[in-house]
Amino acid sequence: MLGVSRSTIHQMIADGEIVARTLGSATLIPYSELARVLDGAALSAATKAA
């Protein structure tokens, strides 16, 4: 959904940029957290032109 690698997601969690929960061995990121990250992302040149 974010368009970045798994290792980038794990680094963002470690840095506190994304809040995640664990359930057993699964790392879960709430949809609201993904939406918050996406809302704060910079727009690309292609998106700005649209």
Per-residue pLDDT for the chain (50 aa), expressed as one digit of tens each? 778 898 999 999 999 999 999 999 999 999 999 888 888 876 666 666 55
Which tokens go with 25?
């061995």
pLDDT at 38 (0 to 100)? 83
Is the C-alpha dihedral spanning 33, 9, 40, 44 positive or negative?
A: negative
Alpha-carbon distance of 34 to 15, in angstroms, equals 15
Q: Say if residues 37 and 2 touch (Cβ distance below 8 Å).
A: yes
3-state secondary structure of 28: strand
